[in-house]
Structure 1
Amino acid sequence: MQVEKLVSESDIFIDRKFQNEQEYFEVIAQHLLKERKVKSSFLDSVLQREKNYPTGLDTGKIKVAIPHTDYTKANTTQLVVTTFKSPVGFHQMDNPNNIIPVNLAIMILFNNPEKQPQMLKYIMKIVQNQANLHEIINTKNIKSMKKLFENFGG
């Protein structure tokens, strides 16, 4: 897995404002559809998956969501990184009735089921460390964010 290809500058969103997770998914899915990185069924699929298997993680002070859906809905393998200007409520993975204030979403796109475990391992290495999350949240430049994710993989 080539880390430098996992994060595209066009798919990094810094200090974005969303009213809720629904709006986040709609805006990001529309963007990815325009880029032809996902299929037209992506939005419905990711919303349904989020409803059945929430992706909000209480990782400490800085909380993360790792949304994704079935590999058949994506045309590429990569990450979409979004930091939120104000936290967005996501249902918690290990307590679905609980909504947690998420500061960072790292959406996974993968077009091959064999790539999912590698992607999750890479992301979990990043999100289990508050220092990494603090660095991500404080990065305000797209090129710097891309480089940061490359460095995490090294």
Structure 2
Amino acid sequence: MSEKIAIKPELVIPDLVAADSQDAIRQLGETLVSAGYAKGSYVDVVLEREKSYPTGIEFPLCGVAMPHGEPDDVLGAAIAIGRCANPVPFKRMEDFSQEVDVRLVAMLAVADPAGHLDVLGKLIAAFSDEETCAALLSSDDPAAIAKIVDDAINGGE
């Protein structure tokens, strides 16, 4: 991975209240846009991509979604994280006809395609680790949540 991914407390919504997956994506996307990591078009691109390539995955402790868009709409590498106050249904990555109740959403803005795959792999490893996932689910502190994800992605650099 060539660039460090920004994972900051201001990109964390610890009690994300979303009506549906589109609302969750919109809220997290606007966080990335407001913080200067993505163009205004990013949210619509992610919403459109999610229709064809859904990102909901069931992990040992909870459902997770990792929506993302295209590098053209990214201004800087970052991840916005939402911990859903109530589970939000997302279409399953492996079976579009089914849904998974998602508790954690990690929305990626990564400009480097190779780095994008690296980040996804590290996120999958983090969400697969029950201790890491439990810490994300139990913390109400945006700084603590950001640090957990930063340690998993950037090695705490």
Whether TM-score is above 0.5 comes out as yes
Cα RMSD, aligned residues only = 1.9
- Provide the secondary structure at the position in 1 that maps to 2:8: strand
Taking a change above 3 Å as real, the CA distance of residues 14 and 30 of structure 1, as seen in their structure-2 partners, is same
Tell me if the contact between 1:62 and 1:134 (Cα under 8 Å) persists in the aligned partners. Answer: no
With normalisation by structure 2, the TM-score equals 0.89
How do 1:3-42 residues align onto structure 2 when only pairs under 5 Å count? 5-42=5-42
- Provide the secondary structure at the position in 2 that maps to 1:118: helix
2:146 corresponds to which letter in structure 1?
K
With normalisation by structure 1, the TM-score equals 0.90
Q: Which residue of 2 aligns with 1:107?
A: 107
**How far 1:150 moved relative to its partner?**
3.2
Q: Which residue of 2 aligns with 1:54?
A: 54
Query: Any unmatched runs of 5+ in structure 2?
Result: none
Taking a change above 3 Å as real, the CA distance of residues 28 and 150 of structure 1, as seen in their structure-2 partners, is closer
- Cα deviations by residue, 1:63-113 (Å, 9 ceiling, x for unpaired): 100111111111111211110010001000001111111000011111222
Larger CA deviation: 74-83 vs 32-41: 32-41
Q: Which residue of 1 aligns with 2:131?
A: 131
1:88 corresponds to which letter in structure 2?
V
Tell me if the contact between 2:61 and 2:133 (Cα under 8 Å) persists in the aligned partners. Answer: no
- Provide the secondary structure at the position in 2 that maps to 1:96: coil
- Provide the secondary structure at the position in 2 that maps to 1:38: coil
Identity between Structure 1 and Structure 2 (%): 20
Distance 1:110 1:120 in 2: 10
Is residue 92 from structure 1 mapped to residue 92 from structure 2 by the alignment? yes
How many residue pairs get matched? 154
Larger CA deviation: 130-139 vs 87-96: 130-139
Larger CA deviation: 120-129 vs 84-93: 120-129
Taking a change above 3 Å as real, the CA distance of residues 3 and 42 of structure 1, as seen in their structure-2 partners, is closer
**Greater strand fraction, Structure 1 or Structure 2:** 1
Taking a change above 3 Å as real, the CA distance of residues 3 and 152 of structure 1, as seen in their structure-2 partners, is farther
